[in-house]
């Protein structure tokens, strides 16, 4: 259960989607003066080098954030793409790149901020950040990375299971919170644990904003998760938003030698309960550009739905 390392996947297309949504959501919530608590159930190492051994091994950032900053391969055109390649970036996508750029003052994207560092970068002094990470190596790295921020009591790092422990911070004293839940889903039971966690969190704090990232892969649990989250939100009388980004086909192919090639992660989604009302129009403009610029074959597409 401890084999997954986000360092191999930092800056990929899933991170582009997740962090674009995270930034747009967080900045809206920060418009109110009242303190905000952000809880990250699976924080990872917090900060990554895209020119290091881990990210270099997978090369996934080349088809993710590096394309957007001009350092990746030329994208393949997706089905139905309408935006011109040189069209100005949508506000949410431009803001995402601006935040990444803040960690790379000399340009490019050698340093990639994970969710903990993105959140801390945007928080005000009176806001709080609670980070959970169970992977022993990543937890040590996260501790060391966070220590460099000298953030004092603003950030709490816990080497604990976010699924089982994060709800203890709900509701926060200020009654305002954003909870990000993005496990690896390497273990099939993670899908059920996400549902249990969100259900318990809503019972404790019905007005919090909950953001769930998930992979879209050929597994029944992956396709059931957003449907069941939608049902949960609807029964609770809460608004919801569901965004997906597909960059390539999920089909396994066979080459001329008979060797099979698995596509890797073809798509991912973000499901939010109690999302900001500003998020849908921002994503409506940003998602077509993500699908176009991050496309790896002609199957690239996106979806955006909401209710409540």
CA distance 127 to 121: 11
Closest CA to 169 of 160, 90, 71: 160
- Between CA 205 and CA 210, with CA 206 as vertex, the angle to 5 degrees is 85
In the residue annotation, 86 being an active-site residue is answered as no
Catalytic residue among 15, 63, 182, 190: 182
Name the H helices within the chain.
Answer: 13-29, 53-58, 65-68, 91-102, 115-122, 136-147, 162-165, 189-204, 220-235, 279-293
Beta strands in 31-113 (DSSP E): 37-40, 47-49, 111-113
Q: Are strands 209-216 and 177-181 parallel, antiparallel or unpaired?
A: parallel
Q: Which of 247, 203, 253, 195 is nearest to 226 (CA)?
A: 195
**91-102 vs 115-122: helix crossing angle, rounded to 10:** 100
DSSP 74: P
How far, CA to CA in Å, does 188 sit from each of 13, 133, 185, 219?
22, 19, 6, 9
Q: Are strands 47-49 and 111-113 parallel, antiparallel or unpaired?
A: antiparallel
**Residues involved in catalysis:** 182
């Amino acid at each position: 259960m401890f084999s997954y390392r986000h360092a191999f996947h930092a800056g990929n297309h899933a991170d582009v989607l997740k962090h674009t949504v995270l930034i747009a959501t967080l900045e809206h919530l920060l418009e109110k003066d009242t303190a905000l608590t952000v809880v990250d159930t699976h924080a990872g190492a917090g900060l990554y080098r895209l020119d290091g051994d881990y990210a270099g091994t997978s090369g996934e950032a080349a088809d993710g954030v590096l394309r957007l900053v001009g350092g990746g391969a030329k994208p393949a055109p997706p089905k139905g793409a309408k935006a011109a390649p040189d069209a100005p970036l949508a506000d949410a996508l431009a803001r995402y790149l601006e935040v990444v750029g803040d960690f790379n003052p000399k340009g490019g994207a050698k340093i990639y901020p994970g969710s903990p560092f993105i959140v801390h970068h945007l928080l005000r002094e009176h806001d709080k950040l609670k980070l959970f990470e169970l992977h022993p190596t990543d937890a040590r790295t996260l501790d060391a990375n966070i220590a460099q921020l000298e953030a004092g009591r603003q950030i709490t790092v816990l080497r604990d299971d976010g699924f089982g422990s994060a709800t203890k911070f709900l509701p926060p004293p200020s009654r305002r919170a954003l909870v990000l839940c993005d496990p690896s889903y390497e273990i099939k039971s993670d899908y059920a644990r996400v549902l249990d966690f969100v259900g318990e969190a809503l019972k404790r704090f019905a007005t919090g904003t909950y953001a769930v990232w998930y992979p879209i892969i050929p597994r029944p649990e992956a396709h059931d998760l957003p449907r069941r989250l939608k049902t949960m939100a609807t029964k609770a009388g809460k608004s919801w938003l569901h965004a997906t980004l597909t960059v390539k086909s999920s089909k396994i192919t066979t080459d001329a030698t008979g060797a099979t090639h698995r596509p890797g992660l073809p798509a991912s989604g973000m499901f939010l309960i109690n999302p900001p009302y500003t998020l849908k129009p921002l994503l409506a403009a940003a998602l077509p550009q993500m699908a176009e610029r991050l496309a790896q074959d002609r199957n690239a597409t996106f979806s955006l739905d909401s209710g409540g």
